[in-house]
Amino acid sequence: MVERMLEQQQAIKRVFAQDKSRRPLPQLTWQDISVLESVNNALKPVADLTDILSGEHYVTVSSLLPMLTHLEGVLEESDDDSRLTAELKRVNLEQMEGRYGDDAIQRMIRKATLLDPRYRGDHMKPPELQSTKSEMMEEIALSVPRPTQCPSHAG
């Protein structure tokens, strides 16, 4: 919504300037526009991620790790960022770490990503990839029924 307002800022001003029947709205100052741009720059990648991961008709957990990796890169502070944008990006990264930083959640996300043929572990560092493969092999070995030994028949 913020992005759309910034895009349509001139048109919105013209409409309200021409419509004298309405009470005049306060004009946005350059500081207000600057704050809106900072908020938009910091939150748009998060909104995009939310839209992508909100699918009801397709698997999304396996896409979480690649998306989080991408989002971490997008939310890295750059020299062009205002202080507000940099702070919002930092807070978003902290929130992501709080939500997805748990070891059990990380293991589950890595397993789903590894099993998805679109990714096959491409978004994992080699130690994480190896440990995830080992963990999955152990789980598979434990889930396969072992043959029972039949008593020997004396003949």
Q: Contact 113/62 with Cβ under 8 angstroms? A: yes
Q: Contact 101/64 with Cβ under 8 angstroms? A: no
Each as own residue / partner, the long-range contacts of residues 38-44 (CB below 8 Å, 24 or more positions apart, any chain) are: 38/81, 38/82, 38/84, 38/85, 38/88, 39/2, 39/84, 39/85, 39/88, 40/2, 40/3, 40/6, 41/81, 41/85, 42/75, 42/84, 42/85, 42/88, 42/89, 42/92, 43/2, 43/88, 43/92, 44/3
Q: What is the pLDDT of residues 55-94, one digit of tens each?
A: 767 767 888 888 888 888 888 888 888 898 899 999 989 9
Cα dist from 79 to 32, 82, 83, 85, 101, whole Å: 21, 8, 10, 11, 27
pLDDT at 105: 92
Q: What is the pLDDT of residues 78-137, one digit of tens each?
A: 888 889 889 999 998 999 889 888 999 999 999 999 998 888 778 888 999 999 999 999
Structure tokens at 138: 């152990």
Residue 47 has pLDDT above 70, yes or no: yes
Cα dist from 9 to 5, 38, 39, 42, 47, whole Å: 6, 16, 16, 19, 21
